[in-house]
Amino acid sequence: MEKTKPAKGSCLCGSVTVKASAMNTDLGVCHCGMCRKWSAGPFLAVDCGTEVKIEGEDSLGIYNSSDWAERVFCKKCGTNLFYRLKETQQHMVSSEIFNEPELNFDHQIFIDEKPNYYSFSNETKNMTGAEVFEAFVPKD
């Protein structure tokens, strides 16, 4: 399977469409408390980089969840669409808005915040919250 491919998806009501030029076919899961509260479970996402076109921007709700990122959702139906890094404009898009059966679940982040009441059987690369911040969050 190729690592990236074009992809198109939408929210539940269809008011917002997301087109990614290069969706990474490796799926990741975030277990941080904020993602779990936002998604009512772990957030399953694919990295779509910066080449993302949004149609229906008037229906977007944006929540500035931290100094470095924001969470974007449809104001009409409530679908969680993506997590976007402010500095780079990198989009971590909900894998569930795409009709894409060919994804490779290969990593989990904030594994140290995962509650004990669920787990995935896949063998994945796992990173703690501290490891994620060390690797990805810009330093002043």
Domain boundaries, the chain: 4-128
Cα separations in angstroms, 105 against 14, 45, 90, 99, 137 = 26, 10, 19, 15, 23
Q: Could you report the per-residue pLDDT of 48-104, keeping only the tens digit for each?
A: 999 999 999 999 999 999 998 999 999 999 999 999 999 999 999 999 999 877 899
- Name the band, by pLDDT with cuts 50, 70 and 90, for residue 31: very high
Mean pLDDT of the region 102-111: 95
d(CA 110, CA 45): 14
Structure tokens at 21: 């030029």
Whether 140 has a pLDDT exceeding 90, the answer reads: no
Whether 1 has a pLDDT exceeding 70, the answer reads: no
From the CA atom positions of the chain, what is the Rg in Å? Answer: 15
4-128 under CATH 2.40.50.140, yes or no: no
Per-residue pLDDT, 2: 66
